[in-house]
Chain A
Amino acid sequence: GNSVTQMEGPVTLSEEAFLTINCTYTATGYPSLFWYVQYPGEGLQLLLKATKADDKGSNKGFEATYRKETTSFHLEKGSVQVSDSAVYFCALRARGSYIPTFGRGTSLIVHP
């Protein structure tokens, strides 16, 4: 079956530090890959996505590249802000399947 593995958190950083949250996946075929962000008290919202190998998704300074050879979709940001404190979820949606597969989520805490 399909699966998504994310690094466990919490990840604690100082403001302006570099962020990487690792995500690897297992799926048949060529899934689409997504990062969602959940701010406290809110639902998940799409942060970025990539639909084929070597695509780079980007939004709000965050980036992730679809690496088929390593089955990875790591989330990066060059300089985090306190306002980036949230839980980040990696997810995939496989061709022919309605149901997305989510990772467990990684909590990010950014200190001033």
Chain B
Amino acid sequence: NAGVTQTPKFQVLKTGQSMTLQCAQDMNHEYMSWYRQDPGMGLRLIHYSVGAGITDQGEVPNGYNVSRSTTEDFPLRLLSAAPSQTSVYFCASSGATGIHNSPLHFGNGTRLTVT
């Protein structure tokens, strides 16, 4: 059972480049989300989705785009990378039935460095 799979594990970008962080889950979870984790800042929500075709902004959405064309996949796009986007990015999912009782399932993260 793979759970939440994130690719790539590591990435180095130059300022201005674009890229897509991939996230896939095999648990048929309706809710998916992206976080960034920076030292001393905890987890900050970037975007989230409550089902295919539905996305919404979190706390720090600027510079990022998402789409949700299938239940399984929730890619995060960096439009024009900036050094401030150097971070560890986590994708997380949960079921939506009884959602307030449902824990999040996290991927192992993508470590992104922008130079």
Contact = CB atoms under 8 A, between A and B. Distances in A.
B90 interface: yes
B100 A104 contact: no
Nearest to B30: A98
B106 to A, nearest CB: 3
Interface stretch (B12-20, B43-51, B67-75, B78-86): B43-51
A33 to B, nearest CB: 10
Q: How large is the interface on A (under 10, 10 to 19, 20 to 34, 35 or more residues)?
A: 20 to 34
A102 B43 contact: yes
Contacts, number: 58
B46 to A, nearest CB: 12
Interface string B25-60: 000000101000000111101001010000000100
B48 A44 contact: no
Contacts of B45: 99
Contact of A44 (B50, B90, B96): B90
Interface of A: 31-32, 34, 36, 41-46, 49, 51, 89, 93-100, 102-105
